[in-house]
Chain A
Amino acid sequence: MSKEKFTLLKSKAVPLPNENIDTDQIIPARFLKSTTREGFGDNLFRDWRYDSNNNPVHDFALNNPAYSGKILVAGKNFGCGSSREHAAWALYDYGFRVVVSSFFADIFKNNALNNAVLPVVVSDSFLKRLLDTIQSNPETQVTVDLENQNISFDSHSENFDINAYKKICLTNGYDDIDYLLSLDKEIREFDLAH
């Protein structure tokens, strides 16, 4: 089924320097009761965004009017913990198309790639420089070029890795089921033999 295609994105970015941001923070469990994929963006980072009286927490990056854009820049080991794909849906629904970090948890990375959110892995030093730059100048434009696997801002740039197969999927808007359905005959034979 076709998904949104991704080739190049130029945008401002939102900094979230915390490390080990787990999927329970990205979307707390009590918001997982929906049976559709939409509407999770409102509760993205719910418990960091709002206090217990549902008032916005002013110093949280998503509530800071200076920050906006489709790119989230986060500390090391982003997306650890629960496998809930709702985390990727919430990021997408909120409007993020890229998450930049120096390290991603495995399941999150897959979930993001399956939902048109590109995880970009950069070096620790690049991440630090990027976070510092956005924090001192929120107007900074960050460019993520999937075709050339490059991320850049100001005069800095770095190449990133992406799996060749996932790159084809993202740039063309394919998903894994399209590929697996093409193997139907082989799979049926395998099933019978086991």
Chain B
Amino acid sequence: MSNKKPKTIFEKIWDKHVVKHADGYPDAVFIDRHFIHEVTSPQAFDGLRKRGIKVFNTQRTTATADHNVPTKDQHLPIKEALSRHQVETLRNNCSEFGVELYDLGHPFQGIVHIIGPELGLTLPGMTIVCGDSHTSTHGAFGNIAFGIGTSEVEQVLATQCILQYKPKTMKIEITGKVGKGVVSKDIILYIISKISASGATGFFVEYAGEAIKSLSMEARMTICNMSIEMGARGGLIAPDEITFNYIKGRKFAPQGDAFDKAVIEWKALATDEGATYDQILSFNGADITPMITYGTNPGMGMKVTDRIPTAEELKEISEQTSFKKSLEYMGLEQGSLLLGKSIDYVFIGSCTNARIEDLRAVASMVKGKQKAANVEVWVVPGSKQVQEQAKKEGLDKIFEAAGFELRDPGCSACLGMNEDKIPAGKYCISTSNRNFEGRQGPKSRTFLASPLSAAAAAITGKVTDVRELI
């Protein structure tokens, strides 16, 4: 009989990666996989040069260019000088330090959180970091993945370790089944609307329950992706057959016997019976319907059929000023309906929803239909591989016929950094993860929703309850 203390999957992975624990000091945690991109790495490489040190283990480091790249004519030099310089700096740093780079034009290039899983670089049981908050995406495979700042990127490049205090753990369980027209994006928008944009700060979340376990890997990634939008350090889902099937045969995943052996280890990662969490939340899947955000943080979400709350209805009076400011920015009235509101742009893309499954869902919705005349629709694949696959399946033809523009891979209009921006004052239904002021371009106005809801809005030209179209 073993009297080992039962552990959560998070604790098992964490404890296995602590190189040094000293009282009063943060743990030195070993990092298995480090992803880097052009925006948050240049100053880190500079730091290495100043200290005169090399990258600790180049085998554990992978780079791509995604945030600051055009999504049209990627084969041409980048027009904007500062963006070009940033991408060139990444190129030079990777060649100087011997880091593998999936550059523009490379068949593996894409949004950093899309290519990791796609290439089998992201595996269960790992510790994974990247200088990007949505690193939490990788947690869908049952690993500890979280975003870090540039000083920490430098730490990991220099030492393959990061200094961290062990976060608290939270379990979020979604019981039962979700209803018609509800996809994983709605589940996570629902959770965030319930617990607020800071409700999980300081926690690492494990998602569980029937509604989660029945999801595909793509859908699980969407959930884990947005963990950061409720303040969590990261989010994970215990690996299972769905996970193993997704990984099998991917480029950098273990192959043959090594794969079978790995699966045995991965199966042992599940949370032990009797393990405890610092907090447990439970929601009923049947309560979740298609969601949309109306405000300027992802916690300001509601059922697409609901009315925007009024300031008086808020739980915390202290939030009234921010709430009013937010609605003013969005040009919306308290207590009004969003349903039927005319929109200007539809953005289908980002590390939240630009995987092949998302593009398939959108295509099946719009097949044989036309976009509304008042909207412009951008479909931006998450990676070169997603783009190629979409073409192979003829999705590009469906999009073209519907009047949608299929672009080259990148972060695109998820953040107003590259050429793709939503103009001031315009409304965009977006499958991305952030509706902050100016996130999609100065003074742009964002409604976050699922790819299905976005596709529905593209057809009708207004905020639509997707259930009416399916």
Chain A contacts to B: CB under 8 angstroms: 1, 17-20, 22, 24-25, 28-30, 32-37, 47, 52, 75-77, 80-86, 88, 103, 105-107, 110-111, 114-115, 124, 163-165, 175-177, 179-181, 183-184, 186-187, 190-191, 194
Contact = CB atoms under 8 A, between A and B. Distances in A.
B147 A107 contact: yes
Nearest to B32: A194
B198 A103 contact: yes
Interface string B407-444: 00000000111000000100000000010111100110
A177 B51 contact: yes
Contact of A186 (B19, B439, B442): B19
Contacts of A194: 30, 32
Interface in B140-199: 147-152, 154-155, 158-161, 163, 165, 197-198
Contact of B161 (A20, A37, A110, A183): A183
A85 B152 CA distance: 10
Given A19-B321, A81-B436, A179-B28, 20 more contacts: A28-B438, A32-B39, A35-B89, A52-B443, A80-B231, A83-B132, A83-B133, A84-B40, A106-B201, A111-B149, A163-B165, A165-B24, A176-B151, A177-B51, A180-B28, A180-B163, A181-B159, A183-B28, A186-B20, A187-B19
Given A36-B46, A81-B133, A17 B321 contact: yes
A17 B417 CA distance: 27
A114 B149 contact: yes
A107 B319 CA distance: 23
A122 to B, nearest CB: 15
Nearest to A102: B318
Given A47-B437, A52-B443, A194-B30, A28 B416 contact: yes
Contacts of A82: 133, 415, 434
Nearest to B22: A165
A191 B160 contact: yes
A33 B322 contact: no
B30 A20 contact: no
A10 B68 CA distance: 40
Contacts of A19: 318-319, 321-322
Contacts of A86: 150
B42 interface: yes
A75 B325 CA distance: 14
A88 to B, nearest CB: 7
A76 B24 CA distance: 27
Contacts of B40: 83-85
A32 B43 CA distance: 12
A100 B309 CA distance: 30
Nearest to A124: B318
B363 to A, nearest CB: 29
A77 B197 CA distance: 9
A135 B284 CA distance: 46
Contacts of B415: 24, 29, 82
Contacts of A176: 151-152, 155, 163
Given A85-B151, A194-B30, A1 B47 contact: yes
Given A18-B325, A36-B43, A77-B197, A83 B161 contact: no
A25 B469 CA distance: 37
B233 to A, nearest CB: 6
Closest A-B pairs by Cβ, 8 of them: A35-B42, A85-B149, A29-B417, A33-B82, A111-B149, A83-B133, A114-B151, A180-B159
B151 A111 contact: yes
B155 A177 contact: yes
A22 B300 CA distance: 14
Nearest to A31: B417
A40 B50 CA distance: 21
Interface string B1-42: 000000000000000000110001110101010000001101
B231 A110 contact: no
Contacts of B89: 35
Contacts of A187: 19, 28, 30, 56, 159-161
B159 A177 contact: yes
A191 to B, nearest CB: 6
B305 interface: no
Interface string B221-248: 0000000000101000000000000000
B202 interface: yes
A115 B82 contact: no
6 contacts: A19-B321, A34-B82, A77-B231, A82-B133, A85-B40, A186-B20
Contacts of B53: 181
A25 B325 CA distance: 14
A20 B197 contact: yes
Given A107-B147, A183-B20, A32 B417 contact: yes
A20 B163 contact: no
B131 interface: yes
Contacts of B154: 177
Interface string B86-127: 100100000000000000000000000000000000000000
Contact of A106 (B28, B39, B231, B436): B231
A35 B85 contact: yes
B25 A165 contact: yes
Contacts of A183: 19-20, 28, 159, 161
Nearest to B434: A81
A82 to B, nearest CB: 6
Contacts of A186: 19-20, 28
A35 B38 CA distance: 9
Residue with the greatest number of chain B CB neighbours at <10 A, chosen from A25, A83, A124: A83
B83 interface: yes
A104 to B, nearest CB: 8
B352 interface: no
A76 B317 CA distance: 13
